[in-house]
Structure 1
Amino acid sequence: MAISFRGTSELSLDAKGRLAMPVRYRETLADFCGGDMVVAIGYAREKYLLVYPRPHWEIYQETLDAWPTYDPDVQMVKRMILGSASDIKMDGNGRILLSPVLRRHAGLEKEVVLIGQNQKFELWNQSTWDETREAMTWSLELAQKLESFG
């Protein structure tokens, strides 16, 4: 079964660090992976979290395993991603619990943004996402680069 997540949702974390997944994703996640997911830190310089349904995480982890082990930069990235990975399960109310360590890394407070990225989600602090989005420049160079992808 192929699934895809897209769109942006502005959400709130509760006092316990729980996030209610948007209703439009809950049934798909329950059917596809039984609500079993993996959360890890993002690998870009920005601070955000990656949220994968477990089957997609396993594919991603195989990709990471194939990266060269002798390169110190690759080792560090793998260490950060795999070392931060946390298994989570969506509860009966469609909520996921984010650990304090992961919340701190991404600077997640009450207001957050969940961004569908095809087979995964990104989870951002609302103000960090707003700043990142505002700073993005749509140049001719970027347009040409994207066009070259097909």
Structure 2
Amino acid sequence: MFRGASAINLDTKGRIAIPKRYREPLHAEFNSQIVITVDFQSPCLLLYPFDEWSKIEAKLLLLSDTRATERAMKRLLLGYAHECELDGNGRILLPPPLRQYANLEKRAMLVGQLNKFELWDETAWQKQIEQSRETIQSEEFADNERLADFSL
């Protein structure tokens, strides 16, 4: 399970180094295989261990190609999907279209989300944090039945 936020840098070739604390689990459990795609609701990338991505593909397979919204989701997620493997230094290369989608240039945030990572431009991440705080304080959040009994 992946948790926590790590500030990372893109090198001049568009590579990121996965923090050391994640490398061994990724290698041992997932043979260092990762699938990267876009988040269709936010300007960030999603990095899935290959086994987790296989579960997503099984769900996508059930979506209709004749319903516009389902087809659009499949087109975005699968069209941008890129398989990669951590190199010997724990790095992965982000293809230019993925970097452009998330506006990634130099400074980024790699954020653990249990079964996947999100990869954000550092400035966009900070803006998103503020928006999340506002959402949590909103009436809509208070009226969410799924969160009614959630406590820390």
- Give TM-score scaled by structure 2 length: 0.90
Could you list the runs of 5+ residues in structure 2 that have no partner in the other structure? none
Matches within 5 A, 1:24-63: 24-44=21-41, 46-63=42-59
CA distance in 2, matches of 1:125, 1:133: 12
Deviations, residues 25-49 of structure 1 (Å, cap 9, x unaligned): 00000001111110011121x2110
| Identity score, percent | 38
Q: Cα distance, 1:12 vs. partner?
A: 0.6
Quick check: 1:133 aligned with 2:129?
Answer: yes
Structure 2 counterpart of 1:99: 95
Tell me which residue corresponds to 2:20.
23
CA offsets 1:100-124 (integer angstroms, 9 cap, x no match): 1110111001100111111111101
Deviation at 1:72, TM superposition (A): 0.4
1:117 and 2:117 aligned: no
Match of 1:7 among 4, 7, 12: 4
In 2, the alpha carbon distance for the partners of 1:143 and 1:38 equals: 35
Deviation at 1:140, TM superposition (A): 4.1
1:66 corresponds in structure 2 to 62
Decide whether aligned partners of structure 1 residues 149 and 32 sit closer, same or farther in structure 2, where only a CA change above 3 A counts. Answer: farther
CA root-mean-square deviation: 1.4
1:87 counterpart letter in structure 2: E
**Stretches of 4+ moved more than 6 A in 1?**
none
How many Å separate the matches in 2 of 1:20 and 1:12? 8
Q: Residues 54-73 of structure 1, C-alpha deviation per residue, up to 9 Å, x if partnerless? A: 01100111011112332101
Aligned-pair distance for 1:149?
A: 7.2
